[in-house]
Structures are given as C-alpha cells and as structure tokens.
Structure 1
Amino acid sequence: MNSEVIKVFVGCDPNNCDLEQMMVLDYSIRKHTQHPVEIVWMQLSHDPDSPWYSNQETQEGWHTEKWATPFSGFRWAIPESSNFEGRSIYMDADVIVLCDIAELWSHPMNNEAIVIAKGGKSTARLCTCVWDCEKAKQHLPALKELQADPEGHKKLMQLIKEKPELVQPYQDSYNNIDGEGLPIEQIKILHYSDMGTQFSHKYALPRLEASGQKHWFDGKIMPHPRQDLTELFDQYYQEALDHGFKLENYLVEPYGTFQKATQVNYHGNKVTRPEDEKNWFNRSIKYLKSAFRDKKRFSLDD
C-alpha cells in the first residue's frame, strides 16, 4: 500500500475562486498520510485534448448550463480519465480531510458496487466517493456522450437511485456535512457543503473583489453556525501557509464566462439552517414559485 499512489480528483472553479479551498484540502490530505498522493484538479478547460474541455460558444465539450457548480458532472468522467483502472477518489473542493486518506482509499467494496459513498438507495451522496474504475465502465456513458448531454449529470444521479446496489455505503463521517452534531474528533472528512456558509468566503471574497472579480456562487452569504469548525478551517489555512503552501500555486489561466444554474434561491441544508427546514410549508411555496421562474433548480448533492 505504501508504494501505491492514491489518486484524488477534485472538482473546482476554473476562474481561481476556490484557491483557499484547494490549498486547505491539499494540505489536509498530506498532513494526515504518509502515502504518495496525486491530486487532479478538475477545472473547465479550453484545451480540446483535456477531459474537462468545454467550448461554450460552439457547444462542444461539456454542457454546464444545468449544473449547480462549475464541476458538477465531472465526477462521472473519473473512471474513463483513470483509464478504467484501479480506484480513484472524488471530492468537491470544499473539504477538509481529518484522517489518513488511505482509510477511504482501501475501504472494502462488494462485488456489485462501482462506487463507495455516503448513504445508499435514494440518499447516496457522491460528493466524496471512491470509484472502482474498471467496474464502472459497464454502467457509465463514454466521455464524449457525457460531455454532450446537458441532462447527463441528472440522469446518472437517477441511475444511482434506481440501482442502489451500485453504491457501497461507508461510515457517514467520511463525508460529514457541516458537522452534523459531531465533535471534530469524530469527523474523518469534513464537507462544509452549504455554499452560503463556507469558511473560505472570508478569504476569497475580498481577494476576488480586489481584482474586480466575482465569486461563482451568487446566493446569500452568511456565517457558519459552528464556530469550532470555522476555527478549524482558519487553523488549517494558517498551517498550510506555515508549511510553504501558497495560493498562487493553484492559480490557472482563468477560463472566463461559463453557464451554470443560479443559487439565488439556494437554501443550504438542514444542518446549517435548521429553521429553514422546519418551516417546510414556506419552503415548499418558495420552491414552487422559483420552479416557474427558473428551471435550473438543483439538489444539495448536485
């Protein structure tokens, strides 16, 4: 195991909005493991030879207009990008790893499953998961087909719901959503999933504003309800800098304008916004109204 390279694919913004998240995630992975790790940053690209290629003007490559994030559909291309060999981990960029990533990498998988993820059945979450790339080949469309279908991400999420045997559930704390009532010591991988309360905003938004740029998230920004988790991110952010990690190491040539769904009506999750969840009637009315105004709604795991 020590000589095996753990391959981690990370979905992130192509216009340098997520630099703080990328640095903290990178540092957190390497802090807790002695195993060799290769990180592939999945970002929209103008390069036709890139698996993340998208030409928004000519409608070539990835169609992103129905995605909630700049990378929502990329996770389905990981097995082919890994040559349908071995295992590959997928993570969103808004993650802090608090355990040895080798634990997740070596998690047992049953014969039918093609991916290890949180939950199961209709609640499976693929925002942190482990692909068996060879077995996934028989269930996933080819890359070109994935890229060309604006509904591809939605269809494959539905496939996972209809065939729960394809998902091997793991311990929930490998994809802990915004704390979920657990102390930090019991969290293996923290996914600060609510896009409105992300810890990185306090660093990223001023940086972007200084350069005349806007963040891709266009919903309401608010404090995270867990101060200890906020402090944890700050701690890892400073530790990364102290260990020689730099934001500029993650800079890319900005991709430019791309299409995606808006988060103007985004409501986070029941962990960060429990009062919103309790008021289900008002939320249902808001949802119906927004559905008529904007067809680009999305679920939490998009």
Structure 2
Amino acid sequence: MNDTVKIFVGCDPNDCDLEQMMVLEYSLRKHASQPVEIHWMQLSHDPSSFWYSKPEAGEGWRSDDWTTPFSGFRWSIPAFCNFEGRAIYMDADVVILSDIAELWNTPFEQGKIVMAKGGEESWRFCVSMWDCAAAKAHLPPLEEIRGDRKAHHKLRDYFRHHTQLIQAFDTQFNNIDGEGHPIDAIKILHYSDIGTQLSHKHSFKRLESQGEKHWFDGAVFDHPRKDLIELFDRYLAEALAAGYSLDNYKVKQRFGTITKASQKNYKGNDVTRGKKSGGLLSRLFGR
C-alpha cells in the first residue's frame, strides 16, 4: 500500500500532553516511509466538533467513568472514517521507533476487524488498527458510544467475549514500558504507567509555572528504566532542534474541568512496579 496512514491519537484537551504529542509526531514522521495524517482526539466544547462534550447538559461524549480524558474515543474511529478503509489508534504516551507502514500494510485475516496486542481474553487496544468497514457490524451506533458513560467498558467486555474478531499483531507494536526488552527491539514504546510517564518531569514543571495542574491526580514516580527516560529526552530535544514547537499542539481554548474517574489510587503495572499485593510499601518500593 502507498496510501496515507491515518493515525488517531487520544490526548488531553487542556495542554497537559504537549510534550507527548510533539514526541509522538516527530518520532512517527522520523521513521515513516509513507505519508501520515494525524487526528488529535480531544474533548471539545465546540458543538461542531466530533469530540464535543457538555456533561452538565448530558450532551456529546460522556467521559464520567474514563481513566483518561480520551479512553472511550477509540471505539468511534470507524464511524469517524465513515466505515471506510483502515485506521490506527494510539494513546499519546508513545514513542514510535519503527516505520509505521509495517503495521499499516499488515493484511487483515478473514473475519478479523481490529488488530491489537494480546491473546485469548487478554487484549490491549491502546495501540490498535481497525478495518473500519468490517467493524460497522459489531459497534453500536455512534450516539450510543458517545452518550453512554459505560460504553467504553461495555465495548472492552464485548471484545473480550468475541476474541475471534481480533487479530494479534507483533507485540512490539505496543511494548508496555519496555517489558525487559532492549530499545532496538521495540517498534512502538508505550510508556503506559501513568504514574511513571517519561513526559511528567517536563509537563508538570511547565504546568506549575502556568498555575495549572495535570489531569493525572495519582502519585508520580520515576520510571525504573533510565535508558527509556533518556530516549524520551533525546527525541524531545531532536524535535525541538528540527523546528517542532509545543505551541503548535496547544488547543485554541482549553476544555477546563474534565468529568472522569479519579486516579488517586492508581497502582500502575507490573512492568514498572513489579508484582505487588496492593499494600503501600509494595506500591512505593515494588517497582
């Protein structure tokens, strides 16, 4: 295939994720052999926006039970694309370390509608690729996805029970926090543990200087892998040297208060914090 790669990225609507967005785009274009088209998916107060949300009036997207400000957007991508072609979804907290055309040009097997990381009943859709036409028969109407605060969880459960619709791709297209692999083996690094995100030291400082707070309200720790911290910092510096600017990713008008689930008790993942029993000491030191 030589067509344009369509990328949909879930990100914050209050300028919290600017560093993530810039590194994602720079790293994506750095390695891409085909043209790419990025759609930033952010909650909006603009009624004409596909991502419009006015929770106090019960209009648009209902993010009440989402972990992030964009959790439920991924299920609407086939509808956004008018159920035509294919589309790749990814969270904003990724660094692309390979040519995205490799994933884009992977053929769908008969009967599969989405590619993701996993197997059996354990699947992760935080990086995924849709066959938009094939997905139409299996997704609820768009207004139901938007208006049902439980839609995100219902759809995760639906695919957990209909795994025959999912095609496993190379696990390195969604490498979670390194997973013990060297950097040169990783195709897409997803620094998924929100508490240890590689961008926090930059974004928290920037937001604090502006009198603002990050959307994540849980405890923040250093990522356990120094090489991944250095990798993010290097790509951030490269992007700036190449003429990228955080200003290019700022929204015209910040969304303001996001109605979503609190992450004050967020426990991260076993990759960054090790196997844990859930107690305070294991959370703090079992990383």
TM-superposed CA distance for 1:108, in Å, is 2.3
Aligned pairs for 1:40-189 (under 5 A) are: 40-189=39-188
Residue 218 of structure 1 corresponds to which residue in structure 2?
217
| Contact kept in structure 2, 1:121 and 1:162, CA below 8 Å | no
| Contact kept in structure 2, 1:121 and 1:160, CA below 8 Å | no
Residue 277 of structure 2 corresponds to which residue in structure 1?
279
Residue 300 of structure 1 corresponds to which residue in structure 2?
none
Q: Which SS does the other structure have where 1:160 is aligned?
A: helix
**Aligned-pair RMSD on alpha carbons?**
1.2
Residue 9 of structure 1 corresponds to which residue in structure 2?
8
Q: Which SS does the other structure have where 1:51 is aligned?
A: coil
TM-superposed CA distance for 1:121, in Å, is 2.9
Give me the whole-angstrom Cα distance separating, in 1, the residues matched to 2:257 and 2:129: 31
Residue 267 of structure 2 corresponds to which residue in structure 1?
267
TM-superposed CA distance for 1:51, in Å, is 1.6
| Contact kept in structure 2, 1:175 and 1:190, CA below 8 Å | yes
Residue type of the alignment partner of 1:269 = N
| Residue ranges of structure 1 left out of the alignment (5+ in a row) | 287-302
Q: Which SS does the other structure have where 1:22 is aligned?
A: helix
TM value normalised by structure 1:
0.91
Give me the whole-angstrom Cα distance separating, in 2, the residues matched to 1:11 and 1:121: 26
Identity %: 58
Residue 255 of structure 1 corresponds to which residue in structure 2?
255
TM-superposed CA distance for 1:95, in Å, is 0.3
Residue type of the alignment partner of 2:108 = M
TM-superposed CA distance for 1:129, in Å, is 0.4
Residue 289 of structure 1 corresponds to which residue in structure 2?
none
Give me the whole-angstrom Cα distance separating, in 2, the residues matched to 1:56 and 1:161: 28
TM-superposed CA distance for 1:48, in Å, is 1.7
| Contact kept in structure 2, 1:46 and 1:55, CA below 8 Å | yes
Residue 239 of structure 2 corresponds to which residue in structure 1?
240
TM value normalised by structure 2:
0.95
Give me the whole-angstrom Cα distance separating, in 2, the residues matched to 1:120 and 1:176: 15
TM-superposed CA distance for 1:278, in Å, is 3.8
Q: Which SS does the other structure have where 2:263 is aligned?
A: coil
Q: How many residues align?
A: 280
**Which stretch shows the higher mean deviation, 69-78 or 141-150?**
141-150
| Residue ranges of structure 2 left out of the alignment (5+ in a row) | none
TM-superposed CA distance for 1:142, in Å, is 1.5
Residue type of the alignment partner of 2:270 = K
| Contact kept in structure 2, 1:218 and 1:262, CA below 8 Å | yes
